[in-house]
Amino acid sequence: MDCLFCRIIAGEIPCTKVYEDDAVFAFRDINPQAPVHVLILPKKHMANILECDGETMKALLSAIQTIAKQEGVSEDGFRIVSNCGRNGAQSVNHLHIHLMGGRQLADSMA
Ligand code: AMP
């Protein structure tokens, strides 16, 4: 299986890493939509949120909380998004959560 994000986690493709633990890896989006735009993903390959288990979601939640504080957006607020499938406009089929902040975000989400 040739997965872009698996290759980033393996160090085969460079990224700007912001966080790593046993289960989770996070790096800056290459095309940021906000001053802070981090992708947070499980190290274990799963296509999207439909394949995610509770243990992995718990690890992702903990990472989101840590990264939000680390990136300095926990006080002013931020947005998390996980695109799923074709209509969700998911372009990389390895579950990832976008964390965006650092400015006032648009009211619209779609
Ligand atoms: P999505 O469209 O929700 O699947 O999000 C995929 C995200 O991955 C997009 O925001 C891309 O900008 C980002 N992306 C694609 N390739 C890379 C890469 N090599 N390094 C960092 N981010 C990437």
Q: What is the pLDDT of residues 81-95, one digit of tens each?
A: 999 999 999 999 999
Measuring CA to CA, which residue among 37, 42, 56 is closest to residue 99? 37
Measuring CA to CA, which residue among 92, 91, 82 is closest to residue 3? 92
Q: Give the mutation target among 84, 92, 100 for probing the ligand 1 site: most ligand atoms within 8 A of CB.
A: 92
- The pLDDT value given to residue 99: 98
The CA-atom distances, in angstroms, between 68 and each of 15, 23, 51, 95 are 19, 18, 24, 19
- The pLDDT value given to residue 80: 98
- CB neighbours of 15 closer than 8 A, spacing ≥ 6? 8, 27, 28
pTM over 0.85: yes
Confidence category of residue 1, pLDDT binned at 50, 70, 90 = confident
